[in-house]
Amino acid sequence: MSMSSWNMLRSIQNSDRVSQHRLTRGTTRRIVRFAGPYRRDIVVFLITVVFDAAIGVATPLLAGHVVNAITGGGDGAASLIVKLALAIAGLAVVDAFLSLAQRWYSARIGEGIILDLRTKVYDHVQRMPLQFFTRTQTGALVSRLNNDVMGAQRAFTSTLSGVVSNVIQLVLTAAVMFSLSWQITTLSLLLLPMFIIPARRVGKKLAEITRESYNLDAKMNATMTERFNVSGALLVKLFGRPDTEAARFGERAARVRDIGVQQAMFSRTFFVAMLLVASLAQALTYGLGGWLAVTGSVTAGTVVTLALLLTRLYGPLTALSNVRVDVMSALVSFDRVFEVLDLRPAIEEKPGAVDIPPGSGRVEFRDVHFRYPSAAEVSLASLEDVATLDRTESAPVLKGLDFVVEPGQLVALVGPSGAGKSTTSMLVSRVYDVTEGAVLVGGVDVRDATLGSLRDTIGVVTQDSHLFHETIAENMRYAKPDATDDDMWAALRGAQVADLVASLPDGLDTVVGERGYRFSGGEKQRIAIARLLLKHPSIVILDEATAHLDSESEAAVQRALSTALEGRTALVIAHRLSTVRDADLILVLDDGRVVERGRHAELVATGGLYAELYRTQFAVASTPPAADVEVVPIPTTREVTP
């Protein structure tokens, strides 16, 4: 009975939250289709539930017959009692096996659904555009993979089995009880409102403090996540605020403690009330039943049977009184999961997509326009914790880019912050798709290319290359899963970092630490370059790969990059002069357009935006611009031949 009362209490707590959620049309049909692979298991599971409910009613009936046989006496009483006892024992054994079968099928169905939902959602989320992740709360997204998936699982285990079992048990129990004595049954049921009405009030109060507890827990988790990562911990230490942080955290933790005490008392009050009402009902049964037995209206065995059946009546009644909330809770969980699955990935492989020819090194932009998608196009209000999503279209970031990077060329993109440099590079690797125009790699529009061939053709190193909290070998094999140790060592040597890895006690099996913080910035960048070399792409994109490095680290990374760029097409977002000076072509971007193009000396002598950037960002005192350089005027745009 305690399990039934707990389920009811949970339903009462969830009732307000569930009632405020509007289900998407067709959710039930999708759930039925989703359960298709498990329909045979579900049928067997429900059959075991039905038999288990029947045994739950049959056992008290047999117990009543035992009492009647004892009180009735007679020549065959002893034999009858033994047979009845054996029957009760047999039902107990069958019930035990049915219980195991129920648990096995329940686990098989539930865990299978969890596996299907989690893998489906995880795979789908991985395909969402980058802006989805910049807008979404990570905790809310993780909750969909955990809490809501678990809630959906309960639809086919506890909710489905509970409804079927409770309905069958209630119908059978009530029918048997009324057939034995309608007077005792009616009187016992009159006490039920004494429990349900106060329980709902207790449940609503408990729901309020539970919500506050969840909010405080979420805030504490957010605080710990921010303060316990490397960047947050460093900031706390640099500003010397550990005492302040501890006090702030302690206040929230103390409130959680107080709420925990309140929750414990409300929950205990609920359970005590449930047991009290059930005990009072049994007392009435024994009192009225005993009086009827003495007067000869019923037998002693009937009184015992009614008392035992009563314990099996209150549980289903209380559970079924909130069955709508239980069912809606499960449907809401499914609906929230489907909500994520219904978000359409911005980047999808076309049917009939073609492979980019191996070794392709030509990149071409044809009148490319681009704007970032609005929030409504890529996100969910519930994942951003906002009432409604912003549907306003962003201003164009790129406005008619035309240029060609020939095979083997090194082309640099420079310009002020916000000019569209990183966005341009992301269009090549198809992190985003163009709004208008086309980006071609090896003569193939990237939207018509297979995603696999595009990823094999292009390698990217960003200014903050990410390393997973795994071993160096696992981070390296992310680029090439079948790479051998020899392959990895060759790549590490090419990236000028083999000696460092070899000096580590665990070598390739060294765990790099969260986000690679066990290594310096330069070391981490060289490991990322080694990962790129292992991939062996024909086109390399460097997004300010040396922007945040000191001079010594930059020099080491530049040596590694010279190996990485050898014989490859390179598109470099330039920040340091050492990268720009030797470029075959420099494209100067401003407000989403190419406003200048040419080589370093030509652009410096022209005196335009590049020359201004050179003086303010790239100027090197020891290397003044040459005055005797013959200047060849470079037009702001040029025709691009397909």
User: In degrees to the nearest 10, what's the CA dihedral of 275, 277, 282, 283?
Assistant: 110
| pLDDT in the model for residue 203 | 62
Contact 551, 558 (CB under 8 A): no
Instruction: Examine residue 594 and state whether it is found in any structural domain, yes or no.
Output: yes
176 pLDDT band (50/70/90 cuts)? confident
For residues 322 and 424, membership in a common domain is answered with: no
Half-sphere exposure of 607 (CA within 13 A, CB side): 2
For residues 426 and 311, membership in a common domain is answered with: no
Residue 459's beta-bridge partner residues? 540
For residues 214 and 276, membership in a common domain is answered with: yes
634 pLDDT band (50/70/90 cuts)? very low
| pLDDT in the model for residue 632 | 32
For residue 187, what is the domain's CATH number?
A: 1.20.1560.10
Q: Whole-angstrom Cα distance, residue 161 to residue 147? A: 20
For residues 314 and 413, membership in a common domain is answered with: no
DSSP string, 151-209: HHHHIIIIIHHHHHHHHHHHHHHHHHHHHH-HHHHHHHHTTHHHHHHHHHHHHHHHHHH
Q: Tokens 């049915």 map to which residue? A: 98
Q: Which two tokens stand for residue 511?
A: 């765990």
For residues 406 and 524, membership in a common domain is answered with: yes
For residues 172 and 289, membership in a common domain is answered with: yes
H or E element, residue 597: strand 593-598
Phi, psi of 626 (to 5 degrees): -70, 130
pLDDT, mean of residues 458-468: 82
User: In degrees to the nearest 10, what's the CA dihedral of 578, 579, 585, 586?
Assistant: -90
Task: Please provide the average confidence, as pLDDT, over all residues in the chain.
Answer: 78
Q: What angle do CA 482, 485, 488 make, to 5 degrees?
A: 85
Instruction: Examine residue 387 and state whether it is found in any structural domain, yes or no.
Output: no
Whether 173 has a pLDDT exceeding 80, the answer reads yes
Number of neighbours of residue 362 by Cβ within 10 angstroms: 19
Enumerate residues 6+ apart whose C-beta is below 8 A from 424: 365, 368, 398, 401, 413, 589
Which pLDDT tens digit goes with each residue over 268-322?
777 777 777 777 777 878 888 888 888 878 888 888 888 888 777 777 776 776 6
Which pLDDT tens digit goes with each residue over 552-611?
666 777 777 777 777 888 888 876 655 677 788 999 999 889 999 999 888 888 888 888
Flag the least confident range among 49-53, 140-144, 295-299, 453-457.
140-144
3-state helix, strand, coil in the chain (%, to 5): 65, 10, 25
Number of neighbours of residue 263 by Cβ within 10 angstroms: 14
Instruction: Examine residue 79 and state whether it is found in any structural domain, yes or no.
Output: yes
Q: Whole-angstrom Cα distance, residue 632 to residue 642? A: 25
pLDDT, mean of residues 438-446: 93
Read off the amino acid at residue 186: T
Whether 400 has a pLDDT exceeding 70, the answer reads yes
Judged by DSSP in three states, 520 sits in coil
For residues 152 and 95, membership in a common domain is answered with: yes
- 313, 407, 268: which is closest to 57 by C-alpha? 313
Instruction: Examine residue 410 and state whether it is found in any structural domain, yes or no.
Output: yes
What is the number of domains present in the chain? Answer: 2
Contact 617, 416 (CB under 8 A): no
For residues 9 and 107, membership in a common domain is answered with: yes
Q: Could you tell me what percent of the chain has a pLDDT over 70?
A: 80
The most confident of 3-7, 236-240, 391-395, 477-481, by mean pLDDT: 477-481
196 pLDDT band (50/70/90 cuts)? low
Whether 502 has a pLDDT exceeding 50, the answer reads yes
Quick check: pTM over 0.95?
A: no
For residues 309 and 371, membership in a common domain is answered with: no
2 pLDDT band (50/70/90 cuts)? very low
- 499, 1, 22, 469: which is closest to 274 by C-alpha? 1
Q: Which two tokens stand for residue 493?
A: 């040597």
| pLDDT in the model for residue 257 | 84
For residues 465 and 414, membership in a common domain is answered with: yes
| pLDDT in the model for residue 386 | 65
| pLDDT in the model for residue 220 | 74
Q: Which two tokens stand for residue 637?
A: 């745009």
Q: From residue 182, how far is each of 15, 128, 173, 177 by CA, in Å?
A: 34, 62, 12, 7
Instruction: Examine residue 412 and state whether it is found in any structural domain, yes or no.
Output: yes
| pLDDT in the model for residue 633 | 33
Which pLDDT tens digit goes with each residue over 17-45?
544 555 566 777 888 787 888 888 888 98
| pLDDT in the model for residue 24 | 64
pLDDT, mean of residues 504-529: 78
Q: Which two tokens stand for residue 563?
A: 């190996």
Instruction: Examine residue 351 and state whether it is found in any structural domain, yes or no.
Output: no
Read off the amino acid at residue 43: V
Q: From residue 204, how far is each of 17, 256, 265, 623 by CA, in Å?
A: 11, 18, 14, 75
Instruction: Examine residue 623 and state whether it is found in any structural domain, yes or no.
Output: no
Contact 181, 145 (CB under 8 A): no
| pLDDT in the model for residue 629 | 35
For residues 209 and 284, membership in a common domain is answered with: yes
| pLDDT in the model for residue 327 | 73
Residue 612: domain span: 363-376+399-618
pLDDT: which is higher, 204 or 475: 475
Whether 635 has a pLDDT exceeding 50, the answer reads no
Instruction: Examine residue 22 and state whether it is found in any structural domain, yes or no.
Output: yes
For residue 591, what is the domain's CATH number?
A: 3.40.50.300
621 pLDDT band (50/70/90 cuts)? very low
Whether 121 has a pLDDT exceeding 70, the answer reads yes
Contact 269, 5 (CB under 8 A): no
Enumerate residues 6+ apart whose C-beta is below 8 A from 489: 498, 508
For residues 322 and 403, membership in a common domain is answered with: no
| pLDDT in the model for residue 322 | 63
| pLDDT in the model for residue 578 | 55
Judged by DSSP in three states, 567 sits in coil
| pLDDT in the model for residue 369 | 94
